[in-house]
């Protein structure tokens, strides 16, 4: 039973990010920068247990 639960957890967690279309575009103060599908430049951070995007000036992205 443990293996089934673990397998389902792995499948679910990888499927959450399978549709992620953010492109890695360098770093800012040791944070990974991303360029979103609409051209915004941001890094991801966890706030109140949820992942959020914090947008920065587009000139900070190197892609």
Q: Which tens digits make up the pLDDT trace of 4-55? A: 444 444 444 444 444 568 899 999 999 999 999 899 999 999 999 999 999 9
Q: Is residue 36 part of a domain?
A: yes
Q: Give the domain range for residue 48.
A: 20-63
Q: Is residue 9 part of a domain?
A: no
pLDDT at 55: 96
Q: Is residue 26 part of a domain?
A: yes
Q: Is residue 32 part of a domain?
A: yes
pLDDT band at 63 (very low <50, low <70, confident <90, very high): confident
Q: Is residue 5 part of a domain?
A: no
pLDDT at 19: 52
Residues 2 and 31: their CA atoms lie apart, in Å, by 35
For the chain, the first-to-last Cα distance in angstroms comes to: 45
pLDDT at 32: 97
Q: Give the total number of structural domains in the chain.
A: 1
- Model-wide pTM > 0.75: no
For 24-30, the CB contacts below 8 A with 24+ separation are 24/63, 25/61, 25/62, 25/63, 26/60, 26/61, 26/62, 26/63, 28/56, 28/60
């Amino acid at each position: 039973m443990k293996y089934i639960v673990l397998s389902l957890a792995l499948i679910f967690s990888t499927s959450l990010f399978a549709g992620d279309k953010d492109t890695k575009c360098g770093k800012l103060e040791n944070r990974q920068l991303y360029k979103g599908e609409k051209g915004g430049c941001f890094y991801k951070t966890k706030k109140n247990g949820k992942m959020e995007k914090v947008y920065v000036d587009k000139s900070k992205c190197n892609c």
